[in-house]
Structure 1
Amino acid sequence: MSKKPFVSDISGGLARPGALKKASVAAVAVAVVVAGLTGCSSSGTSSTTSSDKTLTLYDGSAPPSLNPMLQSSKQVTNNLAYDSLLIQTGATKFTPELAKSFAYVGTGNTKIEITLRSNVKFADGTVMTAQGIEAYMKAAIAASKITTDTFPVSSYSTPDATTLDISFSKPFPYAQLQFDQAGIFGTPVSPKALTSTQLGAATFGAGPYKLDASQTTTGTTYTFVKNTNYYAPSKQHWQKVVLKIIGNNASRLQSVEAGSYSLEQGAPSDDSTAKKAGLDLVTNPATSIYGIMILDREGKIVPALANLKVRQALNYAVNRTADAKAIGGTAHEQIAANGYVGYYDSDVYSHNVTKAKKLLAEAGYSNGFTLPILYEQTDPLSSTVVQILVPELKAIGITVKLTAAVGIQTYGTDQASGKYPAAVQQMQGQVFTLTTSRIFAPGGLFNPLGTAWPTASFESQYLTASAESGSAATADWSKLGQYITDNAWLVDVAGLSSTYYTSKDLKVPPAWGVYPDPVLMTPTN
């Protein structure tokens, strides 16, 4: 079988299949402050000694676990301690990092071959091998309870110490997106640590830094120091990186204001304050889409949700134009962002209360019904979205019963419990197949009730597009995107690009994941 060259640009159809991407389901404030910086070039790629440089990160919540194989792990800490096989460097561009090459073999997107660097050691001194990466992948699948519906691996082969071949039982396109800096398989763990009881509280990666337990207080402060076994010392711009947890938004912003070389992931409500403080506003290229995920598509908890007309009524009830303006975003009725795979160029739902009420009456719910909705209270945007939606749904006779989860970990646990028929969710607009698989595949991360694919046509369309490439794949993913909207399995409201508040002396590269990568940040002077 022929082997395709490394695909560094997937602009023919950007998609992230499988319930594997470690992406936050709610916006979490992150701040960065750099202290004592000297000897760095303005290019942002210093090769000088960094003995007196400390990077301080501020976050609103502590990492539930430092185990990178868990969906609940934070990308910020993973980036520090775990280098990835590939690294995303643009909207559709990837370059090898721990891998030397990554390619599909043959046609149909059913086999990939990964060639590893031969000079890499983990922080504990263990040499990285293909056999070790295979063991790591199997451990990650078990740890995150990943099913073959979302990652259909059928076999592994390791012809030598630096070559790993992976075969899939069905088409699995754009697999490289599961091996980048935010992918579940992109953060290899030392083989010696795969069964360690300390994996959630310590680090065992091949990244530029490692956790220093002596300077760490779980839940409050996490200190990372240089990994002396790191294969690329020129990328270690900081002598030390400290993550500090501050729950109060205003206090985090004040901490950034007080320091040089600083960054914070902001919220629209804080934009004016950040500008007055003299901070720059840098926009994340990725688009987050907020809306309601209908988890109970079969009507097991709320029978009305199994009815197409009811779901369409929910969509007609939403005034997306006004809602988007209120939260500083753009109106969105679909889960794909403009310019990415899955996006379709038309509008299905307008704000029409009369039509919404008519659909409810036709479905047998002229008196409305009660809809329980879960949301994360500590995410300002999710809280704002849900407060906007309550009166809009009330206007067509639907009474919303809210459950507020305090913190992302509680939200994830509550959602996975299967007790809630709907939840306000943040979804990444540039990862259509990831989101689709997470929500609709039987083993998907956001399918807590374990329902089957919505229809046979849905599954067929998904598999057909997965086996294609180029313009054919792009066209079929767009058709599936509109099919999802036509069937109203989601109630998307608005799309927003994450904004970071930065000091004028810090260079921050585009963040293609949920968080900017602190390893790549450098001073401008």
Structure 2
Amino acid sequence: MKTAVGLLAVGALLLSGCSAGSTPAPSDGEAASGGTLRIGQIGDVTSWDPAQAHVGHQLLPYQIVYDTLLLREPDGTLAPMLATAWEYDDTRTVLTLDLRTDVTFSDGEPFDADAVKTNLESFKAGNGRQAVQLTQFESATVVDEDTVEITLAEPDPAMEYYLSQAAGLMASPAAIEAGTLETSPVGTGPYEFDAGNSTRDSQATFTAREDYWNPELQKFDSVELRILDELSARVNAAVSGQVDYTTLDARSAQQALDTGLEIIPDYQVDWTGLTIFDREGALNPALADPRVRQAMNYAIDRETLLEELQLGYGTATSQVFGPESGAYLEDLEDYYPYDPDRARELLAEAGYADGFELTLPVISGFATQVTAMSQQLADVGITVVQESVAAPNYVADAVQSKFQAFNFNLFQGEAWVAINQIIAPTATFNPFGTTSPEPQELLDVVQAGGEDSEAAAQAVNEYVTENAWFVPLYRIDQIAVYDPEVLSVEAQVQQAIPSIYNFAPAS
């Protein structure tokens, strides 16, 4: 058996307790540890039940109390965690995991194959925000106390990745059965939830477990999540030293930098721009013509928008796959240079020389960006009608085929994960189920996960770019600041907030 090697805008609260910076300097060869890690968090966790867990900005809170079956290293490599080794059968539909035998949950319950089976079944039945991660999951079979077989309906090349994410979070089976996880998390993780020192929508506090099986991952004595939804509150908390780490935006970053805080460099996770849903013209016939969608791309001055909206924090691009995805192609970066004359030519060829009307939904977080794009589209004859939508309904209405297109920040990570988010006929953000024989053949190759998988993923990228399924603007620099005097932080590839294991007291 092979052994593997591998949060949008959102008052400050001054609380007692020592910070990471109060940790004594380590002796030579000894890693710094101890103190309290204080994170300015956008939004509280809605449910601590792993079956309802999210990723992106919202994965780190779960990692504080729950280990995953596999560990995703900062560079994306998968490594052992609760599973020590794993292997597929020849059909790539049965994944066998060997498990650690020295782990218990914080309630004293043992971690074993039965616990894995219970958690996977609970996650599947829970139909949570990341339910797509177990789309192919069919069953889990306990082979023995420390061995479990996961059977898939069809191969899923992202299954191992998912086991390092929401689907891999392991909770106590006793707590699952009791139905108490929503407010009282019980896991095998490095820290325990301190309910007595936590206040909903204000602060969540965690203390280090004395009997944690891997103390090397346990860098602090305690962790505090300060819930700071407003951007101004996060800025104030960062510059005043009330938090050690938090996320900001491009326009607030300089204020933080001026006080000696630092930004994790070269850290991009999402791309932003338009996802064109109605590619068959059910709501807007013009969008069925690829020349119209291509014209929309040529009409956009990406470099100018990047500078005006993001102050240059990002990379202009014409593709929706990032450099670490396996589907990225350098030649597609500037596939649609700013060329309004070419946009007008294509519109004329498609029978829309006088332009057409495009309706876009708008929420406050994207209003400025949609307005900027609308002005550039208007220059080539495309009139954008902006319709305000309640923020809680934005994604829900999108996936129910209510929009012609919408503007959003979307993940640009692992090829198969991104494909199942925005491209596959069953993808979350392909609500009209657009497909055709050519891309479907390529998707089948990617799903098989063989030696041709990466080339097929690149061909998928080429197809959706050439056929203009999207109007990407740029990949966004993830702007998170930290105090280097008290904290060391390592970026996590393709993840908006680094994993909890990537934080340590400054040496």
Superposed pair shares fold, TM > 0.5: yes
Q: Which residue of 2 aligns with 1:420?
A: 403
Deviation at 1:375, TM superposition (A): 4.9
Alpha-carbon offset, residue 389 of structure 1: 0.9
Mapped partners of 1:403, 1:72: distance in 2: 28
SS at match of 1:299: coil
Matching residue of 1:361: 348
Q: Distance in 2 between matches of 1:373 and 1:356?
A: 19
Shift of 1:117: 0.7
Alignment CA distance shift 1:225-1:291 (3 Å): same
2:481 aligned residue (501, 511, 521): 501
- Counterpart of 2:361? 374
Matched residues, number: 493
TM-score, normalising length: structure 2: 0.87
Give the secondary-structure state (helix, strand or coil) at the position aligned to 1:510: coil
Which residue of the partner structure matches residue 322 of structure 2?
337
Q: Aligned letter for 2:247?
A: Q
User: 2-side partners of 1:435 and 1:131: how far apart?
Assistant: 31
1:45 & 1:491 partners in 2: Cα distance?
Answer: 49
Give the drift of 1:71: 5.3
The one-character-per-residue Cα deviations of 1:127-173 (angstroms, maximum 9, x if unpaired) are 11222212211221232367789732344322112112223333322
* Among candidates 98, 109, 132, match of residue 126 of structure 1: 109
Amino acid of the structure 2 residue aligned with 1:441: A
CA distance in 1: counterparts of 2:317 and 2:249, whole angstroms: 19
What residue is the counterpart of 1:16 in the other structure?
Answer: none
Compared CA separation, residues 521 and 476, structure 1 to 2 (3 A)? same
- Of 64, 67, 92, which residue of structure 2 is paired with 1:83? 67
User: For the residues of structure 1 that align with 2:114 and 2:359, how far apart are their CA atoms?
Assistant: 47
Aligned to 1:462: 443
* Residue aligning to 2:382: 398
Question: CA-atom RMSD, angstroms?
Answer: 3.0
- DSSP-derived class of the 1:205 partner: coil
Matched residue SS, 1:185: helix
Moved more, 70-79 or 502-511: 70-79
1:452 aligns with 2:433: yes
Q: Deviation per CA, 1:245-278, whole angstroms, max 9, x where unpaired? A: 2233233122122228822223222232122111
Q: In 1, Cα distance between the equivalents of 2:280 and 2:142?
A: 43
1:384 deviates by 4.4
Give 1:420 deviation, angstroms: 2.1
Kindly indicate whether the alpha-carbon contact (under 8 Å) linking 1:116 and 1:162 is maintained by their aligned counterparts in 2.
yes
Are 1:258 and 2:240 matched, yes or no? yes
Aligned-partner SS, 1:374: strand
Following superposition, the deviation at residue 97 of structure 1 comes to: 1.2
Q: Say whether 1:8 aligns with 2:11.
A: no
Structure 2 equivalent of residue 321 of structure 1: 303
Change (3 A) 1:45 1:81: farther
The 1:501/1:415 distance shift into structure 2, 3 A limit, reads same
* 1:242-253 → structure 2 map (5 Å cutoff): 242-253=224-235
Query: Could you tell me which amino acid in structure 1 is paired with residue 3 of structure 2?
Result: F
Secondary structure of the 1:194 match is helix
Deviation at 1:511, TM superposition (A): 2.1
Residue 163 in 1 paired to residue 144 in 2? no
Match of 1:473 in 2: 453
Structure 1 residues 60 and 509, CA, compared in 2 at 3 Å: closer, same or farther? same
**Could you give the per-residue CA deviations for residues 262-301 of structure 1, whole angstroms, max 9, x where no partner exists?**
2222322223212211112212644321111122333333
Q: Secondary structure at the match of 1:69?
A: helix
User: Does the 8 A contact of 2:54 with 2:166 survive in 1?
Assistant: no
Distance 2:347 2:466 in 1: 16
Structure with the bigger percentage of helix: 2
Deviation at 1:437, TM superposition (A): 1.0
- Alpha-carbon deviation of 1:44? 10
Match of 2:89 in 1: 105
1:499 CA displacement: 2.9
* 8 Å Cα contact 1:149-1:444 kept in structure 2: no
1:119 counterpart SS class: coil
- Residue matched to 1:56: 38
Is the alpha carbon distance of 1:85 and 1:37 closer, same or farther for their aligned partners in structure 2, counting shifts above 3 Å?
farther
* 8 A Cα contact 1:99 1:115, kept in partner: yes
Partner of 1:13: none
Aligned partner (choices 143, 154, 161) of residue 126 of structure 2: 143
CA contact (8 A) 1:286 1:511 kept: no
Question: Any conservation in 2 of the 1:149–1:442 contact (CA below 8 Å)?
Answer: no
Query: Residue deviations 1:337-364, cap 9 Å, x none?
Result: 2353111232432222222233333334
Distance 1:44 1:260 in 2: 30
Deviations 1:68-105 (A, max 9, x none): 32254621211211111112214341211111112223
Percent identity over the alignment is: 25
1:46 shift after superposition:
4.7
CA displacement at 1:402 relative to structure 2: 3.2
Secondary structure of 1:109's counterpart equals coil
Return 5+ residue gaps in structure 2 as ranges: none
Gap change, CA 1:384 and 1:67, over 3 Å in 2: farther
What is the alpha-carbon distance in structure 1 between the residues aligned to residue 415 and residue 62 of structure 2?
23
SS at match of 2:352: coil
Q: Structure 2 residue aligned with 1:483, among 445, 457, 463?
A: 463
Shift of 1:496: 2.4
Helix, strand or coil for the counterpart of 2:67? coil
Q: Distance in 2 between matches of 1:325 and 1:397?
A: 24
Aligned equivalents of 1:45 and 1:176: distance in 2?
Answer: 32
Select which of 219, 236, 247 maps to 2:218.
Answer: 236
8 Å CA contact retained: 1:31, 1:265:
no
Does structure 2 conserve the Cα–Cα contact (< 8 Å) formed by 1:284 and 1:500? no
1:134 is aligned with what amino acid?
Answer: K
Which amino acid in 2 is paired with 1:242?
Answer: E
The whole-number CA distance in structure 1 between the counterparts of 2:248 and 2:142 is: 45
CA distance in 2, matches of 1:489, 1:265: 30
More RCO (CA 8 Å, sep 6+): 1
Other-structure match for 1:20 = none
What SS is found at the alignment partner of 1:283? coil
Letter in 1 for 2:232: A
The structure 1 residue matched to 2:249, chosen from 244, 251, 267, is 267
Q: Distance in 1 between matches of 2:194 and 2:425?
A: 40
Does residue 516 (structure 1) correspond to residue 498 (structure 2)? The answer is yes
After TM superposition, the structure 1 = structure 2 runs for residues 166-315 of structure 1, keeping only pairs within 5 Å, are 166-180=150-164, 183-228=165-210, 230-259=212-241, 262-283=244-265, 285-315=267-297
The unaligned stretches of length 5 or more in structure 1 are 10-23
Contact 1:56 1:243 in 2 (8 A): yes
